[in-house]
Structure 1
Amino acid sequence: MDKQNYPHTQQNNALFERKRLPLLLLPLVFYLILLLLPFDTATQNPLMVFLGRFHPLMLHFPIVLILLTTAFVLLGKFNPNFNKPVIIRSLLGSSVLFTLVAIMAGYLLFISDAYTGSLAKNHFYGALITGGGITVSFLFYEWMHAKEKPIGFVFFIFLALTNFALAYTSHMGGSLTHGADYLSEPLVSLLPSKIEQKNPEDMLLYDDIVATVLETKCASCHNENKTKGDLLLNSHGALLEAGKSEKKAVVPGKPDASELMVRVKLPEGHEDRMPPEGKPGLTENERAVISFWIANGASQEFRKEEVKDTSILARLEEMMPDIYQAQFKILKDKAEFEAAQKELEAIASKLGVTVSPDKKMNEKFFDMKMKFPPPPFGTEELQEFSPYFPFFSRISLASSNVKDDDLFFLAKMTELRELVLQKTAVTGDGLPYLKDLPHLEVLNLSFTPLEDAHLLHLLAFKSLKKVYLFGTPVKNELIDAFQKHRPEVAVILEEGPN
């Protein structure tokens, strides 16, 4: 080093050691403290809950900043225009700051919203490694800048570690929020199918193609338990019978007289159009093939090899990849459901409750009920079902030991339609956990110590259609006020189902 630069270097070193080094060591000390603090405090301090819920907002800042820092450092190795110490130091400093804030908020969310399990802990540990990695990276960069040395190997090692930890932490966070298979689920369709596929020429036009299309896009709203528009579309026999509307879904030989074809051809926005707005409609190919099948007698024995119309054959060829994929998904879902049913029945037998397929949901989800007399059933018993929460559509916990904190776990049942909390200790303090359930329509709070103020939480329940409040201490004036603001929600002052 040139001697005339030596005092300048010493001055930089002194400034780094006196001012910047202590600041950069503080986050590392903080992360070490967090590592030693307990996870299971489960505090419900309102301020901590409020601050913790900033975590989903804050976490995007360090992700973007760390990636930008890495990009500038790597590009700077090949292009001097990107080798700007002022910009890199600013990005590193911002990354350290926002990572620290995001982790602080995440820890508060972790303990105040009672997150448990390995996913939550791994997400937290990954965040600490990310925070520690970017802090040490900044520390080394500042040290090398003070020494007026080029970026060293150690800096790249810690920056790489930070990026790997960031990717892992993000994956754990996504899995925690959306489910463990959130990232891999879309790739299932790319895997080789284990289904023994028919020779295309041996396929039946109804069983293998038309029925698959109807099952995928129509049967969820047109089955024995949910006959929207009085149309049944879940079997060949049902298609040919008239429902309450006296209109047949399919009239053999007459596509234009078939209610199925009438509905799918209605313009978007029409209240009778099928499927309704927001759901994927039949493609042009699917409509043409179903119309052709009806026009040719709508027989269940009509084979694909009998089709001579070249335009229909071309449409069928275009449809086959989607048909195979839909068949794979239908059978895969059926297999998963049957496996879940066996495991759920075993858990239910051990805990003394009843679990059965929900007939109101076409037996695609499950219904759980307490037996009489009800067994001891509280937080621990409820959590035994946690791997299967997405499979439940109706839950009755009447006369159980569940309390407000347990509503946090019930909020993970994203397919829940009906929830019975009759004769429990629920005061309503935990009702906000349930407000974002997209399908919850019926809530039974009869004979609970529901507090007046907590009834107002139900104003935020977007899908709620019916609430039972019989035997609760809630004042009539408050019920009247609730009905005034949510007139579409029926308030039932009867005991209701259990």
Structure 2
Amino acid sequence: MNSKSLLTKRKNIFIKFRYLFLLLGGVLLLLPTISPGEVPSNLIVFLGRLHPLVVHFPIVLIFLALFFELITKANILKVTSNIIGILLGLGILSCLGSLLFGFFLYYTGEYSGDTLYQHYWGGVFLTVLMALTLFLFLTYQKEKSERSYWFYFLALFSANVVLVYTGHQGGSLTHGGEYLTQFLSKEKQTQIIWEPKPIEEMLVYGDVIVAFLDKKCMSCHNENKSKGGLILTTYEDLVKGGKGEHATLIPNSSEESDIFRRVSLPSNDDDFMPPEGKPPLSQNEVLLLKWWIDNGADPNLRLTEASSNPEIEPLLSVYLTELEQDHRRRFYEKLTTESLIQSLGDPTNFELKIDPFDEKSVSLSMTFPPTKFGDTDLIGLKTLFPQISKASFIGSDITDNGFYYIGQMASLNELYIQQTQINGEGLAYLSNLEDLEILDLSKTNISNGNLLHILRIPSLKEVYIYETNISKEIIEAIQENRTDLKLHLERGKLF
């Protein structure tokens, strides 16, 4: 069979099934009118998450068709019309597959908003345009006229333009609206340049001691959480000390200063700080702390003065290199987190704050006075799910269906969901959260049976059930099974 008869047969097949394509296209056009399910089945979630994999096929096929057409036109390499025709046909089929799996992903409710609809309609238009491109390609193969070729080429080129637009919208859904352009403008570039502080302006306490206390101690010793009554956020707080019988800081005497004694004890000592599970101070950091205390613990001592001291100069030269690298890393981590927060616009029903002790972490809380915040509002926060370490939904409209999304906040450490209408059915979705330690269910409709779901959260340490109807028998049963888990019947802290 010659090439001409093959093309004729291909065209006849396309014409024969054109009504099927129209019917399928009509169904796809109706898909956005179907609302996402409240809690999608596991099969729907699985199929939906195939979309990011399948969507790469039309990207490659459509780009290749244009690339082969260009190099053939430029006489660089001769690519047969059969190959280009196959690429166009497979391109249409892969577009249809991407739309179908994309709808399943939309149906899970994991994505929503204007960007989603722009991405979807871009995919629909791309599929229609590819069908037109194939039709014009077959027409050109039959007529072999210059006019029909340029109609076909214009359609193929337009399909690639739509492909770029649709792909960008898809990337914006996953990474945020400014993911592609955030480093292009000169204005943004001036914001992302990190410049180290001049050494002549640096202080031993403010720029060195505070740096490692901030990194390894202040998460447990700050205004909101002061273990042992000790706060380390300011020099005055450090001097004031905590509730212990030993003074926290005694200038000129590291041996009598409890802060040095604690960090220099053997790691298996009960008084050693930080506690197990937290990174301890390095040997250099311990020696720097000792030197600073023994030399007066002056908060205004400049680094240049300390560097001239032969006792401390070798330690500083090593530590300053590490400190500069750490400052640079934290600067860009904070910049990335700020960019993600800014991509959400200016919300009125919730607040987001970057953790001052971990620039990758974000705390989420409801605004006051409270405004409506429900399960669907969680979907819009999806790009920040990996960063959310603390979440407070006190008094919100969150239901048990919302736990499906909360369970995707992989870094979640504290969850406050007091005064909501939950009954605990959705707590099972939290079983994969490896860092969740605090859960407050006070003043909710949590039932005895549903509370047992907390036994499947191995990292959980504290659960508050103040003013709930949990029976004494269930409390005793949980405590027997999880001796490491503390159930509080009193009111917890508000966050």
The TM-score, its normalising length taken from structure 1, stands at 0.64
Q: Distance in 1 between matches of 2:349 and 2:174?
A: 28
Contact 1:404 1:428 in 2 (8 A): yes
Q: 1:311 to 1:69 in 2, by over 3 A?
A: farther
Q: Distance in 2 between matches of 1:360 and 1:477?
A: 41
Q: Who is 2:43 aligned against?
A: 50
Q: 1:289 to 1:184 in 2, by over 3 A?
A: farther
Q: Distance in 2 between matches of 1:274 and 1:146?
A: 79
Q: Distance in 1 between matches of 2:125 and 2:249?
A: 60
SS at match of 2:436: coil
SS at match of 2:37: coil
Q: 1:182 to 1:300 in 2, by over 3 A?
A: farther
| 1:254-278 CA-partner distances (Å, limit 9, x unpaired) | 59998669859989xxx96869779
Q: Distance in 1 between matches of 2:276 and 2:60?
A: 42
SS at match of 2:233: coil
Q: Who is 1:205 aligned against?
A: 204
Q: Distance in 2 between matches of 1:45 and 1:210?
A: 50
Q: In the TM superposition, what is the alpha-carbon distance from 1:157 to its structure 2 partner? A: 0.5
Contact 2:352 2:365 in 1 (8 A): yes
Q: Distance in 2 between matches of 1:442 and 1:479?
A: 15
- Report which structure shows greater RCO (CA 8 Å, sep ≥6): 2
Q: Distance in 1 between matches of 2:236 and 2:336?
A: 24
SS at match of 1:464: coil
**Residues 1:109 and 2:101 are matched in the alignment:** no
Q: Distance in 2 between matches of 1:91 and 1:486?
A: 59
Moved more, 185-194 or 455-464: 185-194
Q: Who is 2:154 aligned against?
A: 154
Map 1:360-399 onto structure 2 (within 5 A): 365=363, 368=366, 379=374, 393=390, 395=392, 397=394
Amino acid at match of 1:161: V
Q: In the TM superposition, what is the alpha-carbon distance from 1:51 to its structure 2 partner? A: 1.6
Contact 2:119 2:166 in 1 (8 A): no
Within the candidate set 9, 16, 20, 2:10 is matched to: 16
Q: 1:221 to 1:61 in 2, by over 3 A?
A: farther
Q: Distance in 2 between matches of 1:451 and 1:60?
A: 42
SS at match of 1:442: strand
Q: Who is 1:351 aligned against?
A: none
Contact 1:42 1:114 in 2 (8 A): no
Q: Who is 1:66 aligned against?
A: 59
Amino acid at match of 2:301: F
Q: In the TM superposition, what is the alpha-carbon distance from 1:12 to its structure 2 partner? A: 2.3
Unaligned regions of 5+ residues in structure 2, if any? Answer: none
Q: In the TM superposition, what is the alpha-carbon distance from 1:444 to its structure 2 partner? A: 1.0
Unaligned regions of 5+ residues in structure 1, if any? Answer: 1-6, 349-354
Amino acid at match of 1:420: I
Contact 2:35 2:107 in 1 (8 A): yes
Contact 1:9 1:146 in 2 (8 A): no
Map 1:285-364 onto structure 2 (within 5 A): 293=292, 296-306=295-305, 307-308=307-308, 311=314, 314-315=317-318, 318=321, 322=325, 325=328
Q: Distance in 2 between matches of 1:406 and 1:57?
A: 23
**Residues 1:419 and 2:385 are matched in the alignment:** no
Q: 1:184 to 1:264 in 2, by over 3 A?
A: farther
Q: Distance in 1 between matches of 2:275 and 2:203?
A: 24
Contact 1:92 1:138 in 2 (8 A): yes
Contact 2:462 2:487 in 1 (8 A): yes
Q: Distance in 2 between matches of 1:180 and 1:282?
A: 40
Q: Who is 1:172 aligned against?
A: 172
Q: Distance in 2 between matches of 1:356 and 1:153?
A: 49
Aligned residues: 466
Q: Distance in 1 between matches of 2:245 and 2:50?
A: 50
Q: 1:477 to 1:238 in 2, by over 3 A?
A: closer
Q: Who is 1:41 aligned against?
A: 35
Q: Distance in 2 between matches of 1:266 and 1:135?
A: 72
Contact 1:285 1:319 in 2 (8 A): no
Q: In the TM superposition, what is the alpha-carbon distance from 1:393 to its structure 2 partner? A: 3.3
SS at match of 2:55: helix
The TM-score, its normalising length taken from structure 2, stands at 0.64
Q: 1:427 to 1:385 in 2, by over 3 A?
A: same
Contact 1:189 1:325 in 2 (8 A): no
Q: In the TM superposition, what is the alpha-carbon distance from 1:153 to its structure 2 partner? A: 2.7
| 1:98-135 CA-partner distances (Å, limit 9, x unpaired) | 44334323323324537542233334334434545555
Q: Distance in 1 between matches of 2:282 and 2:156?
A: 52
Q: Distance in 1 between matches of 2:101 and 2:338?
A: 41
Q: Distance in 2 between matches of 1:406 and 1:272?
A: 40
What is the root-mean-square deviation in Å for CA atoms of aligned residues?
A: 6.1
Moved more, 166-175 or 22-31: 22-31
Contact 2:427 2:453 in 1 (8 A): yes
Contact 2:51 2:102 in 1 (8 A): no
SS at match of 1:173: helix
Q: Who is 1:448 aligned against?
A: 445
Q: Who is 1:235 aligned against?
A: 234
Amino acid at match of 2:6: N
Contact 1:67 1:163 in 2 (8 A): no
SS at match of 1:418: strand
Q: Distance in 2 between matches of 1:488 and 1:37?
A: 49
Q: In the TM superposition, what is the alpha-carbon distance from 1:174 to its structure 2 partner? A: 0.9
Contact 2:192 2:332 in 1 (8 A): no
